[in-house]
Amino acid sequence: MKYDLILENIGQLLTMDYGKEGPLCGKEMDQLIVRENMSIAIKDGKVEEIAAASAALDWEADKRIDCGGRLVTPGLIDPHTHLVFAGSREHEMGLKQQGVPYLEILKRGGGILSTVEKTRAASEEDLYKKAAGHLNEMLSYGTTTVEAKSGYGLEAGAELKQLRTAKKLNAEHPVDVVSTFLGAHAIPAERRNQPEVFLDEMLQLLDVIEKEDLARFVDIFCETGVFTIEQSRAFLTKAKQRGFGLKIHADEIDPLGGAELAAELGAVSAEHLVGASEAGIKRLAETGVIACLLPGTSFYLNKPDHAKARKMLDEGVAVTLATDFNPGSCPTENLQLIMSFAAVMYKMTVKEIWNAVTVNAAHAIGLGGQRGVIAPMQQADLVIWNADNYEYIPYHFGVNHVGTVIKKGAVVYD
């Protein structure tokens, strides 16, 4: 057979192909399959063969890439981003330095609500162009699949505009975009005293979201001054009955019991979890809810407390890591930086970190086994790194180590 593309002279190859159906949990995360001196053959966007370099010498292909002994891994997966929005919020940096808390900025009508104003006013075309730029940036850092939340519309038209933008990007941009409906991201000014009415309005959108296939997951910001545990339970229960997977912005700032709620409802993931209680962490382990941790947000909000990743891993929780890319609490597309943060702030091992941003991230967005692995017959999403070993990437932080990104078997960044 003649292949489309061959990668040869690979130094270390991380396949993440553990043969396990679900995500890696707790101690299982501290392992890696490292194969050395390998070649990969790609055809029709999929991995066809993985073999020792010597066995691959007589393979034929249209294109060959000599990896020069470098590291090759699956494309990274960023399972929590707020990709589609208008404007930016650099003016909040000064407020934060003066000690104005994140939730106080929101209470004053700034924060998320100021991005809502700009997003409502933006055309779909402008949103698309801006989000495509952010996706290009992510791709350049090795991210080949992202989750993207809505939540800067907070009214029917603007929420759907965001979701349609994400759907179009998924169809047209090389990066795969999996959408989450986060209409319950904040209470808009016009509904300030009627949160229940607002949540009902957001629930009514599920019809068209389902009909147009605009989101796979539904999420809510369960937080002091935003949505309570009771409101979150009622909202998510209805979304679950409609067949959507659930995610929760849980215990990000105040410990409200969001982790326990995620476990109770069988959410796919609970996200942030800085203030998650010990009981909540145990429940995540028992129920198999994936903990999506966002160290970039703790860094950027300069919080003294960080998510208790080591505790979660000891208890047997499946952990994933994401940027939380958004204009307020974490304006970065760089998942490599998040990997470094996880090493320093969470003391996660480098093996745990690699599993978090590949195999477990895929499970967190409903693509377990199909993304975040290098395996025969699976989509060929790969990164050739400018490094010869996997430990080097989180170690040397703040710079881009990507050499070449391959998406669906084609070179999309070099």
Q: Please, what is the Cα angle at 226 between 221 and 229, to 5 degrees?
A: 70
Which residues in 338-366 are b (16+ Cβ under 10 Å) and which e?
Answer: bbbbbbebbebbbbbbbbbbbbbbbbbbe
252 is in an annotated binding site: yes
Q: How far is the CB of 140 from Fe ion (least distance, A)?
A: 22
Token look-up 């991380």 returns 14
Instruction: Rule CB under 6 A: say whether 165 interacts with ligand NIG.
Output: no
CB 382, CB 40: distance < 8 Å: yes
- Output 70 or 247, the one with its CB closest to ligand NIG: 247
> Among residue numbers 301 through 330, which ones bind ligand NIG (CB under 6 A)?
324, 326-329
* CB-based closest residue to ligand NIG: 328
User: Which range in 42-50, 107-115, 156-164, 347-355 contacts ligand NIG by CB under 6 A?
Assistant: 107-115
Give the span between the Cα atoms of 322 and 242, in whole angstroms: 27
143 is a site residue for ligand NIG (CB under 6 A): no
Is the separation of the CB atoms in 70 and 98 below 8 Å?
no
The CA-atom distances, in angstroms, between 68 and each of 9, 386, 409 are 6, 10, 19
Window 19-58: residues binding ligand NIG (CB under 6 A): none
Which span (135-143, 212-220, 319-327, 360-368) binds Fe ion, by CB under 5 A? 319-327
Q: Is 328 annotated as a binding residue?
A: yes
> Using CB under 6 A, which of 43, 249, 283, 401 touches ligand NIG?
249
3-state secondary structure of 204: helix
Nearest-5° Cα angle at 372, 172 to 370: 70
How far, rounded to the nearest angstrom, does the alpha carbon of residue 112 sit from its chain's CA centroid?
19
Euclidean distance between CA atoms 384 and 405, whole angstroms: 6
Shortest distance in whole angstroms from residue 329 CB to ligand NIG: 4
Q: Is 185 annotated as a binding residue?
A: yes
The response to whether 401 counts as a known ligand-binding position is no
80 marked as binding residue: yes
Decide: is 324 part of the binding site for Fe ion (CB under 5 A).
Answer: yes
Q: Write out the residues near Fe ion by the rule CB under 5 A.
A: 324
Residues tagged in the binding site annotation for Fe(3+): 80, 82, 249, 324
Residues tagged in the binding site annotation for Zn(2+): 80, 82, 249, 324
Q: Write out the residues near ligand NIG by the rule CB under 6 A.
A: 82, 111-112, 115, 221, 249, 252, 297, 324, 326-329
Residues tagged in the binding site annotation for 4-imidazolone-5-propanoate: 89, 152, 185, 252, 329
